[in-house]
Structure 1
């Protein structure tokens, strides 16, 4: 269940972060910043659910309410039991199959298959690089006429020399050089890993498409500045039918051509619009608060002046050893604390109910602590007595003594 909860929180983070991208950032022409936003928010989506912060909110000790114990008369309870005339037999139902126990194996099985497929595709790419490569401007050019062509993976560029003129080849190499210099292939590998672990989440596939689009916009912008916008747009249209089926590579015309050409001729966003990225901060803070912060109510430890006595006072406690919990050890958790001058009264929750426990050592325990206590009796009268025998402070509430 913890794995399922974590994955659901990761998915919720991706939904909110990507929704902000679609509504606010997608149309901006700050392509590098958009790429950075997509990568960082995807990484934060995996990190945020793993964080855990606790905020203690103090409540006045006087506001602590103790539940009164319920006394059940077992003799009357037995007398009211009615014996039915007929006893109906019902067969014992067989234990149902626990699907939650199978889910982790199913999930990781699919993850392993997807990672295996990705590894196999990388090996196929490596296989093609062994055919011999020509080095041009830091790129390794691999010539091939079928399969995936006119695309790149890291600094390897796979081209079809027969379908390109010399001028078109220079434009394509400039485009793929931008991909190599900006390490866009690293992003592709990271997205493949993310899709393997979030295969059930449709938003992660939208992340992949948006990031690939940002890559192409960034490379198109740099290439069009070197060779001219119109000439570059014409080359995109001519090569639009040559698409790659290899998801690891950057294909020259794989992304939607209409959107890429339209973006080439769009006016650039003003620098002031970069402030819009700051609007993502409240989104991240909201996710942090919702998934990582836990508010715990604790009793306010007010300073109480101890009663001054002449000489050594002592505690007066009438112990009753007839209580069923006397001399037994029970385990439970402190629900709240009531502070008095003579000690602390703990509201102690255990398996069979809620009891009050007197704590001589004030400040040694806190709300939420899990303890194992041995009952030594129940206190019916507790007070502070001065040397003359006068009770100067009395606690009327009965509680157990440990």
Structure 2
């Protein structure tokens, strides 16, 4: 259940990302068809990309543990808290109620549409079907069917309306409308989804207006037709309406100059954001212990008598886990605690944490989690005649014959291990509590009898990057700071106001074993957009037509409406000089954009070089760390 909520949150975030990219970069461009595919691609990317998960394994050294087998095992009693389950259940019920309501409304809209079509005379022309109604209903199209009331319009107006609706039919815009309705039902809780829906419908109208005006002789008459249709408020929800409450924007777009092809670079800017999303949220970091082999392993291999493997796979039930825990305790006095258990809708294990304990000390710990079902693994236990015990996790029983962790009475540690997080010495428990996703770097240094694990977290790395670093009054890089042997630090002063970190060492600068780590390249700086977009003139508000038929209805009201329309047309005519001035301002704006576009092209070239440098940096970094 939790995995499903995380999926919805990730998908909702991507929907918001695509909408913001469209709103701030593409909304005012005249690439209407390209914008249509961008918006649709955004929806499908938002539901598919969160399903793609990459796994990254971070290897850490194991913790040798000595056991006193004379001590009695301690029984662990766990009181389960179901509060979290109740919260998830409540949220699930709320989500299902919202989705069910919208899907039911979707079904009623189809029913209303069938009532409009039922019993009506259908005229066919080429690939189109025409239905001429007598109702006061706004013109609309549904796939290849166009519905209108011819008595409400002149011949010229009806021609403009039909050309507009034919574009909707030819380009199959109804499919876009149905897709956004389904997505609204699934992501009804996301406010950006409703803004996304509005953007899709607006862009479809821009496409139809643009194509229809290419086939009409009088562009101005087409605009007046738009204004006349604003009076029709009755419409069917799942159709393409001739009027979408955006007349002002449509008229502006009709009179706007075509965007230059060079502005199409804006579509590419979404790619770095998607890459960042994958790196930040779709890379599952798993910390896994390396297998340490003690000196007594050879003896065990010669004397091993019994080997038990307790297998756990995606279909293992809670009862089976309890049984395995009971068997481990009874047979080997090892307490196995299973926690962090999560399952998907198929009741398959997607996450589990295993702790193996003897007394108060941890023998072994393993954790796996993700959105997919877990791979099969086993708890492998073997014991020889001398009472020496071998415990390990693995996916194959042959691990016992190759590498294992030996647990025996008073067995000496392989090495003395020290753990440092952000320069501070911590315990094994502190290391276990750290979130692997917060780890920026991890270095393991080994000597003959000493082992160091040094971890830098993302927050600490960010804090360090924002400050100038000085070691013994000499300014150094982040790379040199990472390699500093922190046991030699005598004093460290942090000046938040001056944004400086000053470190004084005991006997000069001493670096840890990783001395030749490469320096990461510096990313290029993107150009700054400082050009102000000109504002279009303010259009007067169109008068609202009276209800009813203009012939059989209230004639006095319709005469007053005609007078208001004449005044409105006069005001629109007065706006023509302002529109011409606005067109000139847009031409100047396009000219000012040319240097910025060139800067963006140069920036993109530098970014390609930077990406190549980063690939080389990571390769060199991996090579140096393997030495």
**Structure 2-normalised TM-score?**
0.47
Tell whether 2:166 aligns with 1:177: yes
Q: Is the 8 A contact 1:243 1:251 kept in 2?
A: no
Aligned-residue RMSD, C-alpha: 3.9
Partner of 2:203, secondary structure, is: helix
In 2, the alpha carbon distance for the partners of 1:109 and 1:211 equals 26
Tell me, yes or no, if structure 1 residue 108 matches structure 2 residue 109: no
Q: 2:108, 2:260 → 1: CA distance?
A: 44
Q: State the TM-score, normalized to the length of structure 1.
A: 0.71
What is aligned with 1:374? 381
Partner of 1:391: none
User: Could you tell me which residue of structure 1 aligns to residue 27 of structure 2?
Assistant: 26
Distance 2:356 2:364 in 1: 11
Say whether the 8 Å CA contact 2:138–2:235 is kept in structure 1: no
Tell me if 1:150 matches 2:165. no
Equivalence for 1:208: 197
Matched, 1:128 2:132: no
- CA-CA distance at 1:136 after TM superposition: 3.3
What residue number does 1:278 align with?
268
Q: Is the 8 A contact 1:55 1:293 kept in 2?
A: yes
TM superposition shift of 1:95? 8.2
Query: Which of 328, 334, 337 is the matching residue for 2:332?
Result: 328
Q: Where in structure 2 are there 5+ consecutive unaligned residues?
A: 73-80, 304-327, 339-353, 366-374, 390-404, 410-627
Secondary structure of 2:299's match?
strand
- Of structures 1 and 2, the one scoring higher in RCO (CA 8 A, sep 6+) is 1
Report the alpha carbon displacement of residue 379 of structure 1 after superposing the two structures with TM.
4.1
SS of the residue aligned with 1:54? strand
Query: Given the superposition, is the C-alpha separation of residues 140 and 6 from structure 1 closer, same or farther in structure 2, using an over 3 Å criterion?
Result: same
Counterpart Cα distance in 2 of 1:202 and 1:260: 24
Distance apart, 1:222 and its partner CA: 0.8
CA distance in 2, matches of 1:95, 1:201: 28
Aligned pair count reads 330
Matches of residues 190-339 of structure 1 in structure 2 within 5 Å? Answer: 190-227=179-216, 228-298=218-288, 315-316=298-299, 327-328=331-332
Is 2:3 aligned against 1:2? yes
- 2:27 pairs with 1:37: no
Gaps of at least 5 residues in structure 1 are 76-93, 305-313, 334-347, 358-367, 381-396
Q: Does the CA contact (< 8 Å) of 2:62 and 2:291 recur in 1?
A: no
Asked whether the 8 Å contact 2:122–2:129 carries over to 1, the reply is yes
3-state SS in 2 of match to 1:8: helix
Partner of 1:160: 149
Structure 1 residue 125 displacement after superposition:
1.0
Show the counterpart of 1:354.
362
Matches within 5 A, 1:88-107: 98-107=86-95
Return the offset for 1:374.
3.0
- Rounded to whole Å, the distance in 1 between the matches of 2:168 and 2:262 is 27
**Counterpart secondary structure, 1:9:** helix
SS in structure 1 at match of 2:238: coil
The 3-state SS of whatever aligns with 2:298 is strand
- Aligned counterparts of 2:222 and 2:364: Cα–Cα separation in 1: 81
